Amino acid sequence: MRTIANQWSNLAKGYQELVRLQEELRQEWEKPLENARQLRLQKERDAWEEKKKRLDAENQQYQKRYDRELNQWRVQLESYTRTLEDWKILQNGLSREQSKLTLYLIFGGLLAVTLIFSILGIPLSLVPIYFMIRQYRKVEKLRLQLPPQPRPPKKPQPFDYESKLGRRPTLQTTPSVSLDIMPAWWQALGIQEQPERGYGLEGVANLLEVLTRKLPDSFITFQELLVTQSLDADVLVLGPSGIWVLESKFWAGQVVCRKGTWYQVKDVYQRGGAVDKKVTSYGINPDDQWLREQSMVTETLRRRVPDHPFLLKHVKGGLVFTHPEVELIIDNSCKVQWGKVEEWAERIMNSKPIRQLTPETQLDVADAILTFANIVDSASPQRNSAASLAQRIYNTTAGEARKYVIKWEKPVRKERIFHRRNPSTSKPVATKNPSTSTPTVTKNPSTSKPVVTKKRVNTPGKKSVSNQP
C-alpha cells in the first residue's frame, strides 16, 4: 500500500506524464545503457581474470615450496629410519653392557667388604671402582636418545577464489542505472515526516501500519483529509475495491451502542484499590459523524468528477476501533459498519474489485478530494505538482544514465582513437632532386603513401649544402 501526502496536486496528470517520460527514457537510453553495461562487465571480468592469474601464480609458488619441503621431509625421514635401525642395534648391546655393570657392582662390593680390614684393602678397593666407572661411561655412551621423528610439511589448502576475489562478474551482478522511475515517483509522493503522535493520532498510526502490511501497492491512502472546515476523514483508502472512508476511534474499555445511544465504560481505580465504573456518553454519535463524512466525499465526487458517476455508489467504510484493549458491545441500531483494525484490513482486501476503478480513475478521485480539502483548509501549505515531480525525476535519471554511459564508453573511445593515431603510420618526408632542386615524390613501401624527399645540391666553387636537417 502506498501513502500520499496531502500537499500534492495533479496526481492523474503526473501519472500520465510519468508513463510517457518512462517510455521516452527507455527508447533513448535502454540500448546505450545495455552497451555500457556490457563494456563495464567486460572490464570487470578482465580485472577479475588478471587478479586470478596473479593469485594462480602465488598458488603455484606455494605449491612449489610445498614440494621442496616435502622432498626435504622425505630425505629426513630416510635418515631417521637409518638412525632408528642403528639405535635398535645399540639397544641390544646396551642390555649386555648393563648386565656387566651389575656384575662389576656385586664383585666390587664383595671385594671391598673382604679387604676393608687389611692394610692393602683401601688401594685394592679402588680397582673395582675404576672398572665400574668405566663400564658406567660405556653404558651411558650406548644409551643414545632416539632422535625426534620429522614432521611432514603442512599441505596447502585448496585455493578459495571467492574469499579473495569474490564471484566472477556476471551481467546480473553488474549494476546499472534503473530506467524504472515509477517507484521513485511514488516514494516522493509519500509522507516524508511523520507527525507527532497524540492520543487520537496513535490510533491512526496503528491503522495505517496494519493496512500497509496487509494491502498491496494497488491501494493508496491519505490521512487527516478535511471534508468540511470542522470535520476530517482520518484515513481515506482508494483501491480496486472502492473508496473507503475510515473513522478511527482510539477508545479503550467497553464501547457500547444500544438503541442508537453510544457510551463508553471504563474502569477507574480509586485510592485503596477500589475499582469504579466510569460511563462516558458522546454528544455526537460516531456513526452519524461517519455518515457526514461519507456525504461530503460523495458530494465532492459528484461535483468534481462528473465523468464517473459510478463512483457515488462505491463510497464505503465505517468505524474502526484501533485501541488494542477495546471491547465492543454494539447492537443493530448502529447505522454503519464497524470493526477492529484487522477486520477492516481483511474486509477491504477481500471485497470484489470494480472494473471501472482503474489507477488513473483512482488518481482523478484523489485530485478531486485533495483540491477540495485545500480549498476548505485555508492554513494548508503550498501544494506541489506531481507532474513537475515526474519531470524532475526524469531529468535526474537521464543525467545519471548519461554519466554512466560516458564513464564506461569513454575508455573504449580513447582506445579507438589510440589505434587511429598509431605511430607506425609514417608521415610524408620531403627531398629535392639534385638536378632541378625540386622535391621528388616517392612512395613509402610500408604505408604505400607518397613520400617527398630532397637531395644535396652541388654548386661550382661552393660547398655542398644539405637541405636536410
Tens-place pLDDT, residues 299-311? 999 999 999 999 9
Domain span at residue 43 reads 37-165
CA distance 200 to 10: 30
Is residue 93 located within the same domain as residue 211?
no
Is residue 328 located within the same domain as residue 257?
yes
Give pLDDT, residue 466. 42
Give the number of domains in the chain: 2
Is residue 203 located within the same domain as residue 65?
no
CA distance 178 to 401: 8
Specify if 311 maps to a domain: yes
Give the range among 13-17, 331-335, 461-465 with minimum mean pLDDT. Answer: 461-465
Q: pLDDT-based confidence at 444, cuts 50/70/90?
A: very low
Give pLDDT, residue 446. 46
Element (H, E) at 267: strand 261-269
Tell me if residue 66 falls in helix, strand or coil: helix
Is residue 285 located within the same domain as residue 390?
yes
Q: Which residue has the cell 609458488?
A: 61
DSSP state of 312: G
User: Which of 120, 138, 165 corresponds to the end of one domain?
Assistant: 165
Is residue 282 located within the same domain as residue 308?
yes
Specify if 81 maps to a domain: yes
Asked whether the predicted pLDDT for residue 332 surpasses 80, the reply is yes
More confident position, 32 or 468? 32
**Phi and psi torsions of 384, nearest 5°:** -110, 150
Is residue 128 located within the same domain as residue 211?
no
What is the bridge-based pairing of β-strands 439-443 and 450-453?
antiparallel
> DSSP states of 360-411 as a string?
HHHHHHHHHHHHHHHHH-TTPPPPEEHHHHHHHHHHHHHHHHHHHHHHHHHH
Which own/partner pairs from 429-432 qualify as long-range (CB within 8 Å, at least 24 positions apart)? 429/453, 430/454, 431/455, 431/467, 431/468, 432/457, 432/467
Is residue 268 located within the same domain as residue 320?
yes
Sign of the CA dihedral with 55 first, then 61, 64, and 66 last? negative
More confident position, 339 or 149? 339
Mean pLDDT of 276-285: 78
Cite the DSSP H helix spans in 147-250. Answer: 161-165, 182-189, 199-214
Specify if 13 maps to a domain: no
Give the range among 166-170, 253-257, 437-441 with minimum mean pLDDT. Answer: 437-441
Sign of the CA dihedral with 285 first, then 290, 296, and 302 last? negative
Specify if 431 maps to a domain: no
165: which 3 cell numbers?
A: 576475489
Specify if 345 maps to a domain: yes
When the pLDDT of each residue in the chain is averaged and rounded to a whole number, the result is: 79
Amino acid at residue number 264? Q
Percent of the chain with pLDDT over 70: 72
Give pLDDT, residue 383. 83
How many C-beta atoms surround the C-beta of residue 321 within 10 A?
A: 25
Give pLDDT, residue 156. 73
Cite the DSSP H helix spans in 421-469. Answer: none
Q: pLDDT-based confidence at 469, cuts 50/70/90?
A: very low
More confident position, 283 or 57? 57
Q: Which residue has the cell 556490457?
A: 38
**Phi and psi torsions of 75, nearest 5°:** -65, -45
User: Which of 395, 410, 440 corresponds to the end of one domain?
Assistant: 395
Radius of gyration over alpha carbons of the chain, in Å? 50
Q: What is the pTM of this model?
A: 0.66
Give the range among 161-165, 188-192, 202-206, 411-415 with minimum mean pLDDT. Answer: 411-415
Is residue 105 located within the same domain as residue 205?
no
Specify if 456 maps to a domain: no
Mean pLDDT of 423-442: 45
Give pLDDT, residue 425. 46
User: Which of 363, 395, 427 corresponds to the end of one domain?
Assistant: 395
Percent of the chain with pLDDT over 90: 37
Asked whether the predicted pLDDT for residue 321 surpasses 60, the reply is yes
Specify if 76 maps to a domain: yes
Asked whether the predicted pLDDT for residue 449 surpasses 50, the reply is no
CA distance 138 to 85: 20
More confident position, 364 or 275? 364
Q: Could you report the per-residue pLDDT of 201-249, keeping only the tens digit for each?
A: 888 888 999 999 999 999 999 988 888 878 889 999 999 999 999 999 9
Distance of alpha carbon 275 from the chain centroid = 55
Mean pLDDT of 277-291: 84
CA distance 241 to 165: 52
Is residue 159 located within the same domain as residue 294?
no
Is residue 261 located within the same domain as residue 226?
yes
Mean pLDDT of 351-366: 92
Which residues is 239 bridged to in the sheet? Answer: 242
Is residue 53 located within the same domain as residue 159?
yes
